[in-house]
Amino acid sequence: LADAVLDAGRNAVLDPGNPQAILIEMNRADVSLHRGNFNQCLARLRDCPTPDSAWLQHAHTALNGLCYLELGRVNEAFGAAESVTRDLQATSLFTGDVSFSILFATRCAFLARREREVEELVERTIQAYCDRDLVCRLRLLIAKAEVFARRSPGIAWSICDNVLNTADHLGLVATRE
């Protein structure tokens, strides 16, 4: 259903440079990522018009990077994560949806055993989203769980459990694995 809705939206937008066209293509890529179809996600991102805003560029890089991680292309992911992390750490005002970028940066930091380096960034971003998009905030809480996963697995699990319970309560599709 998500693909059908996004396909209809894409077909309704005539100018591929239109910011809505970029958002639709990135959402189509997101659907592929969540379905575990990482190569399709990468293909959709390749077909996506070049984002012109910083947060969309970071989200584009992050979606690519999350796919790279899932496909075992860790060096490519780490290279992309460095610039995204550096830019986000230098940002004091978050606009748009930075949750994918934060999740990507956190996941790479965890794999590199440098999660403490992004802990303050994750906390600051969660605070910036306290009154904003709930789905983004839930994704940010998953990033927070990744910060704690190694040093406090109980805290990490509790955060994940709360996110899943919230998603279930709101009727969002959540998978427990």
CA angle (101, 29, 74) in 5-degree steps? 55
SS3 of residue 112 by DSSP: coil
**Which of 122, 109, 116 has the alpha carbon at shortest distance from 152?**
116
Q: How much is the pLDDT for 70?
A: 96
Question: pLDDT, tens digit, for every residue of 73-86?
Answer: 999 999 989 989 98
Provide mean pLDDT across the span 22-30: 87
For residue 141, CA distances in Å to 23, 45, 78, 87, 119 come to 23, 25, 21, 20, 12
Question: What pTM was estimated for this model as a whole?
Answer: 0.84
Q: How much is the pLDDT for 138?
A: 93
| Token pair of 13 as six digits | 């937008």
Average pLDDT, the chain: 86
